[in-house]
Amino acid sequence: MGIWARLRRRLRPPRRLSFTREGRLIVVLSVGVGFAAINTGNNLLYLLLGWLLSFIIASGILSELTLKRLTVQRRPPPRVFAGDPFLMEVVIQNGKENRASFSIEVEDLVGTTPIDKRCYFLKIPAAKSQRTSYRHTFARRGHYTLTGYRLATKFPFALFRKSRDVDAPLEIIVYPSRVAVPRPIPRTTSRGESTADRLGRRGEFHGLRERRAGDDRRDIHWRSSARTGRLLVREYEDELARRVVIGVDNALPEDVRDAVTDGALTPAAETQVSAVERAISVAASLAASYLEIGWTVELCARGLHVAPGVGRIHEAKIARALALLPYVSDEVAFAALPPKIESVLITPRSVAASGRPAATTVMDV
């Protein structure tokens, strides 16, 4: 953090105070009573004035005490998708051992502005926690940071609202929106379905590749490994049958990219951007459905390459890469699609871009 930001944070007042309608009324009453008391000299009015002032002071002290030692945890669901509303769980914990906290509001902050979804807790007993959720939607995929949260209370008399900002960064990756894609029919399916009902047989020798975790030690080609210094294993054609490369074109013209950062999109630019988003969503869904049936998936895009892999971890990796995929100019080179492997290239309709590789299948969405 820069020195300016640090200085600003130190100078920023840790407590915020804003008067409610009742609070303003009480202040007006106090002034009125005080005026009357001084004018008439009636001591009982002084007594009332004293009570009004201590009422206000007590309110301030109590609201401060009630905000102490409260911690909030925000727990998003495992996956958040663009355009899908999700429930963000908010758990508040009362660190005080023998005092409950009443009437607490919690708001998430981005920067210094609240998200405008207030969670309200009526009572948090001592040393206990309470939970609630709020519904939110991120319209776009990407990487979001919730910088912190704001605790506020009007306790005890609703004369004013005291709030305290807490820095607690929370990163959320919003994945591309889910789209329905048809279950892919692999083109080279001469062998049938899954391996669980077959014995392990190998096809023709195809070539050497680097060893991955789980590879059989007996497949290691010792000679080549000794020569290159890396463990290489023999690869058989059988395993190639269930492998696919997914490519997606994330290029956008420069003016459109600038419009996105500025936030001012013309309708034409809007269509182009949504086309690219659709392409990315299709890519993500396609990758997920291939991986689910046990295929090996590799991902290529402009300036992005995810090595082939299987399983759930790999699916998370691909989804994350697609979630953070930026728009680039079409001069950025596409990662090379490996030959002899079935490939699907997903291109956004109405976006002209050069340098697209050839692929087995091209989906224009």
Q: What residues from 147 to 166 belong to the interface with other proteins (CB under 8 A)?
A: 154-158
Using CB under 8 A, pick the residue from 27, 115, 172, 265 that binds other proteins. 172
Using CB under 8 A, pick the residue from 19, 35, 51, 205 that binds other proteins. 51
Helix (H, G, I), strand (E, B) or coil at 5: helix
Strands (E), 322-360: 342-347
Angle between helices 267-292 and 254-262 (to 10 degrees): 90
116 binds other proteins (CB under 8 A): no
H or E element: which one contains 69? none
State in angstroms the smallest separation of the CB of 222 from other proteins. Answer: 13
27 binds other proteins (CB under 8 A): no
For residue 306, give every residue at least 6 positions away whose Cβ sits within 8 Å of its Cβ, in sequence order, or none.
Answer: 298, 299, 300, 317, 318, 321
Using CB under 8 A, pick the residue from 195, 228, 329, 350 that binds other proteins. 195
State in angstroms the smallest separation of the CB of 336 from other proteins. Answer: 27
Span interacting with other proteins, options 132-140, 247-255, 282-290, 352-360, rule CB under 8 A: 132-140
Q: State the burial class of residue 238 (Cβ atoms within 10 Å of its Cβ: 0-12, 13-18, 19+).
A: middle
Distance CA 300, CA 343 (A): 10
192 binds other proteins (CB under 8 A): no
Cβ distance to other proteins smaller for residue 48 or 332: 48
For residue 16, give every residue at least 6 positions away whose Cβ sits within 8 Å of its Cβ, in sequence order, or none.
Answer: 152, 162, 163, 164, 165
**CA-CA distances (angstroms) from residue 364 to 93, 309, 346, 351?**
50, 25, 6, 10
Cis preceding-peptide flag for 182 (omega within 30 of 0) = no
Using CB under 8 A, pick the residue from 42, 112, 145, 350 that binds other proteins. 42
Distance CA 11, CA 65 (A): 22
46 binds other proteins (CB under 8 A): yes
Using CB under 8 A, pick the residue from 16, 96, 99, 209 that binds other proteins. 99
State in angstroms the smallest separation of the CB of 349 from other proteins. Answer: 32
Cβ distance to other proteins smaller for residue 7 or 38: 38
Binding track over 246-285 against other proteins, x by CB under 8 A:
----------------------------------------
Cβ distance to other proteins smaller for residue 102 or 179: 102
CA-nearest of 162, 167, 176 to 110 is 167
H or E element: which one contains 147? strand 142-153
Cβ distance to other proteins smaller for residue 156 or 184: 156
129 binds other proteins (CB under 8 A): yes
Using CB under 8 A, pick the residue from 115, 166, 316, 341 that binds other proteins. 316
Distance CA 289, CA 208 (A): 28
Span interacting with other proteins, options 273-281, 297-305, 307-315, 356-364, rule CB under 8 A: 307-315
209 binds other proteins (CB under 8 A): no
Report the amino acid identity of residue 355. Answer: G
* Chain length of the chain: 365
Using CB under 8 A, pick the residue from 83, 96, 102, 144 that binds other proteins. 102
Span interacting with other proteins, options 95-103, 258-266, 269-277, 297-305, rule CB under 8 A: 95-103
Distance CA 95, CA 106 (A): 16
> Residues 159, 26: contact at Cβ < 8 Å?
yes
State in angstroms the smallest separation of the CB of 288 from other proteins. Answer: 13
Size, binding site for other proteins by CB under 8 A: 74
Q: CA 82: distance to chain centroid?
A: 9
Angle between helices 43-67 and 21-40 (to 10 degrees): 150
193 binds other proteins (CB under 8 A): no
Span interacting with other proteins, options 8-16, 40-48, 240-248, 343-351, rule CB under 8 A: 40-48
Using CB under 8 A, pick the residue from 9, 69, 118, 143 that binds other proteins. 118
CA-nearest of 92, 93, 95, 90 to 115 is 90
